[in-house]
Amino acid sequence: MKRSTLILMGLVVIVFALSWIFKAISFHGVEEHYVLQGFLVTLAAFLTLSIMSFLYRDNPFYKFAEHLFVGISAAFWMSMGFWSTIVGNLIPRLSEGLSNFFKVHYIPGDYNIFFYIPVILGILLLMRLSRNYGWISRWSLAFIVGTTAGLNFIRYLRSDFINQVSATYVPLLVDWQGIGHFFSNLSLSASGQFIMMLANWVIFLGVMCGIIYFFFSKEHTGMFGRASRVGIWILMITFGASFGYTVMGRISLLVGRITFLFRDWMGLNI
């Protein structure tokens, strides 16, 4: 490691050590464990700035925060998987002896022989660790992928297909009473006849052209190609609106972190 890097790291450590001292002093008399509270706020600020330093370039502080985050989260999820799924949900439904061993409440009424199926599939999955019998783990994988794909097929068919088809059944002539009536009552309000008809026409044409864009077994030429072009335009306009909406949400997340740094860590009332 370069000398300049070491000096920089030393300086950062000193700055955050000072921050810890100042925060602990500011919490004195306010928080019961003021030294610990000062440390936690300083650590949170350090990790926030370490992650943000990635905007400059990859650096040792980012690497430290990244490895800490990955390590803690991987360990947390493994621990959760064992204690919540196996100990918390499975064992109380299968074995009184094991429930007593892990000090969890045994539920005799919930005993169900079908719970042995995930146990067996889980053991088969662990056969991957064996060089000779690793192929057996494919059975579990086939079961997981096949079963859930089948279940999802019905769900998607219903939500993304049939319900969407019925959602396009909108009248193109809303409350139509003749061309004269239409122009004499022309209104641009959201509940007005003109806007409602316009919205329904957009739904109709948008869905038709959008579907045509997603035809894969026919070349997009001629009239078909033009409809497909309209379809992609409609998709892009939708994506543009969605982009703007989501970016606003992300800005609010950034504001949250900056507020933490300025107010909670630096103590500035902005």
Partner 1 sequence: MRYIFVIFSLVLLTFSAGLAQVDTLGVDSILLNIAPPSPISNLTVYDKANDHGHALILEWTPSPDDGAGMNTVMLYEIFRSESPDSPFVNVGSVPLGNSRYDNIGILEKESRDYIPDNTDLYYRVDAVTINPEVRASSEVFGPVRSYSNWFHRGRVPVLLAVLIFGGLMMYFVTVARKGAELYVRPLAGISAVDDAIGRATEMGRPILYIFGLGTADMISTIASFTILSRVAKQVAEYQTQLIVPCYDPIVMTVAQEVVKSSYLDAGHPDAYNDDMVFYITTNQFAYVAAVNGIMLRELPATNIYMGKFYAESLILAETGAVAGSIQIAGTDEVGQLPFFIIACDYTLIGEELYAASAYLGREPIMLGSLKAQDYAKAAVIILSILGIIAANFGLTAFTNIFKVLD
Interacting residue ranges for partner 1, rule: CB under 8 A: 51, 54, 57-58, 62-63, 65-66, 69-70, 72-74, 76-77, 125, 128, 137-138, 141, 144-145, 147-149, 151-154, 156-158, 161-163, 165-166, 168-173, 204, 207-208, 211-212, 214-220, 235-236, 238-240, 242-243, 246, 250
Q: Which amino acid is at 227?
A: A
Q: How far is the CB of 89 from partner 1 (least distance, A)?
A: 17
Q: Which residue has the tokens 């806007």?
A: 195
Q: How far is the CB of 247 from partner 1 (least distance, A)?
A: 9
Give the C-alpha separation, 193 to 184, whole Å: 11
Give the C-alpha separation, 182 to 110, whole Å: 65
Pick the closer one to partner 1 by CB: 9 or 207: 207
Q: Which amino acid is at 267?
A: G
157, two tokens = 């068919």
Q: How far is the CB of 227 from partner 1 (least distance, A)?
A: 10
Q: E-strand spans in the chain? A: none
Q: How far is the CB of 13 from partner 1 (least distance, A)?
A: 21
Q: Which residue has the tokens 């045509």?
A: 212
Q: How far is the CB of 255 from partner 1 (least distance, A)?
A: 16
DSSP letter string, 172-226: SSTT---HHHHHHT---STTSHHHHHHHHHHHHHHHHHHHHHT--SS---HHHHH
Q: How far is the CB of 141 from partner 1 (least distance, A)?
A: 5
Helix (H) or strand (E) holding 43, with range, is helix 34-52
Pick the closer one to partner 1 by CB: 17 or 68: 68
Instruction: Name the residue among 60, 65, 63, 67 with its Cα closest to residue 6.
Output: 60
